[in-house]
């Protein structure tokens, strides 16, 4: 049994795709900008600034900052509530809590909406600590650095800690920190590596985490 379990959020515990794409669409429309790629093709999970650059094809920081503020106004006020919980995730979290597992959250999503979502779902009690790239100043550069910070600050042993995520980027961040990794296949990413430890359902994942 792992002594610490770190979860990604988007694509792992919740499906926030519709809510995020709606906020992007409204932000672009308000600025009179046509997206460079179809909204349906947007990857869910990368930091906000990265996605805005992809959508606009622009490196104009003033424009990107303005779009980010419009996005936040929509998503942080009510849009986050449209996030859907993947089937059997509440049961997974409850079972881990009942068994005494020490769980954490590490996400590319901004800290404010992450906290709002946890409050909305009444999930705060499940996580010992929540980490996001902008949790502290200065902002952390990537998820690998964020996991390193979490492991150090929470005094976790890498050999007893597992990161659960839905993208190859999540796996790369875990590998960079010497963490075990569990790939969930119900999320947004695909895992081409044949040696990825994959789980098709939360029930399968629970069995592995508590073995």
202 in the same domain as 107: yes
Are 72 and 123 in the same domain? Answer: no
- Are 151 and 175 in a shared domain? yes
Q: Is residue 203 domain-shared with residue 106, that is, in the same domain?
A: yes
What is the domain range of residue 74? Answer: 17-81
Q: Residue 134, SS3?
A: coil
Q: Name the pTM for this structure.
A: 0.91
Are residue 123 and residue 28 in the same domain, yes or no?
A: no
95 and 29 in a common domain: no
CA distance 21 to 43: 10
Are both 53 and 129 inside the same structural domain? no
Torsion of CA 14, 18, 19, 25, to 10 degrees: 150
- Report pLDDT for 194: 56
Write down the pLDDT at residue 195. Answer: 57
**Are 11 and 22 members of one domain?**
no
- Domain count across the chain: 2
Q: Please report, for residues 32, 56, 89, 177, the alpha-carbon distance to residue 9 in angstroms, rounded to integers and kept in the order given.
A: 31, 25, 11, 19
**Over the chain (211 residues), what is each successive 10-residue block's mean pLDDT?**
95 95 95 94 88 94 96 94 96 97 96 97 98 95 98 97 96 97 92 76 96 87
- Which pLDDT value is given to residue 189? 85
Could you tell me if 188 and 163 lie in one domain? yes
Whichever domain contains 119, its CATH number is 3.40.50.1000
Same-domain pairing of 28 and 111: no
Query: Residue 36 contacts by C-beta under 8 Å, 6 or more apart in sequence?
Result: 54, 55, 56, 57
DSSP per position, 170-211: HHHHHHHTT-EEEEETTSS-----TT--EESSHHHHHHHHT-
**The CATH number of the domain where 59 resides is what?**
1.10.150.240
Domain match, 202 and 98 both: yes
Q: Which of 58, 56, 72, 91 is nearest to 19 (CA)?
A: 72
């Amino acid at each position: 049994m792992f002594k610490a379990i770190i979860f990604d959020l988007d694509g792992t515990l919740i499906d926030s795709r519709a809510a995020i794409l709606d906020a992007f669409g409204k932000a672009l429309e308000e600025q009179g900008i046509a997206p460079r790629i179809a909204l349906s093709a947007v990857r869910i999970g990368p930091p906000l600034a990265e996605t805005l650059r992809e959508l606009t094809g622009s490196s104009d920081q003033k424009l990107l900052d303005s779009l980010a503020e419009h996005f936040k106004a929509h998503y942080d006020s009510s849009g986050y509530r449209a996030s859907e919980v993947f089937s059997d995730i509440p049961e997974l979290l409850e079972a881990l809590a009942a068994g005494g597992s020490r769980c954490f959250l590490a996400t590319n999503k901004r800290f404010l909406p992450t906290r709002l979502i946890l409050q909305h779902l009444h999930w705060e009690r499940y996580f010992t600590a929540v980490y996001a790239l902008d949790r502290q100043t200065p902002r952390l550069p990537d998820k690998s650095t964020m996991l390193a910070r979490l492991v150090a600050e929470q005094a976790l042993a890498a050999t007893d800690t597992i990161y659960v995520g839905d993208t190859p980027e999540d796996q790369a961040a875990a590998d960079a920190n010497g963490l075990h990794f569990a790939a969930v296949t119900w999320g947004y990413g695909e895992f081409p590596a044949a040696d990825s430890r994959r789980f098709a359902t939360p029930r399968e994942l629970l069995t592995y985490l508590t073995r």
